[in-house]
Structure 1
Amino acid sequence: MPDARTTRLVDAYERLTPERLPELLALYDDTAAFKDPFNDVRGRAAIGRIFRQMFEELREPRFAVQVAASEGEHAFLTWELHFKRQGSGQAMAIRGASHIHYSPAGLVRMHRDYWDAAEELYAKLPLLGLLMRALKRRLATPQPR
Structure 2
Amino acid sequence: MPCHTRVQEFFDFYQELDKNSTPRLADFYHQDAIFEDPLHRIVGVPALVRYFDGLYAGVESIQFHFAAPVIQADRVWVDWRMVYQHRRLQKGQPIEVEGASRLDWQDDQVLHHRDYFDAGQLLYQHLPLMGWAIKQLKQRMAV
The equivalent residue for 1:119 is 121
The equivalent residue for 2:72 is 71
In 1, distance between residues paired with 2:40 and 2:99?
15
The equivalent residue for 1:40 is 41
Cα-to-partner distance string for 1:53-106 (whole Å, 9 max, x where unaligned) = 111122223333233221210001222222223153211122211100001x12
Per the normalisation by structure 1, the TM-score is 0.84
In 2, are the aligned partners of 1:100 and 1:111 still within 8 Å (CA)? yes
In 2, are the aligned partners of 1:55 and 1:61 still within 8 Å (CA)? no
In 1, distance between residues paired with 2:62 and 2:121?
19
Task: State the AA in 2 paired with 1:45.
Answer: P
In 2, are the aligned partners of 1:3 and 1:69 still within 8 Å (CA)? no
Identity of aligned residues (%): 28
SS where residue 38 of structure 1 aligns? coil
The equivalent residue for 2:98 is 95
In 2, are the aligned partners of 1:66 and 1:79 still within 8 Å (CA)? yes
Shift of 1:116: 0.7
Cα-to-partner distance string for 1:25-61 (whole Å, 9 max, x where unaligned) = 3111000111112210110111111111111122223
Task: State the AA in 1 paired with 2:11.
Answer: V
Shift of 1:119: 3.2
The equivalent residue for 1:110 is 112
Residues paired across the two proteins, number: 139
In 2, are the aligned partners of 1:66 and 1:77 still within 8 Å (CA)? yes
Task: State the AA in 2 paired with 1:125.
Answer: L
- In structure 1, the gaps of 5 or more residues are none
| Cα RMSD for the two superposed structures | 1.9
In 2, are the aligned partners of 1:14 and 1:65 still within 8 Å (CA)? no
SS where residue 52 of structure 1 aligns? helix
In 2, are the aligned partners of 1:66 and 1:78 still within 8 Å (CA)? yes
The equivalent residue for 2:12 is 11
Larger radius of gyration between Structure 1 and Structure 2: 1
Which one has a larger percent helix, Structure 1 or Structure 2? 2
The equivalent residue for 2:83 is 82
The equivalent residue for 1:131 is 133
Per the normalisation by structure 2, the TM-score is 0.85
In 1, distance between residues paired with 2:92 and 2:32?
36
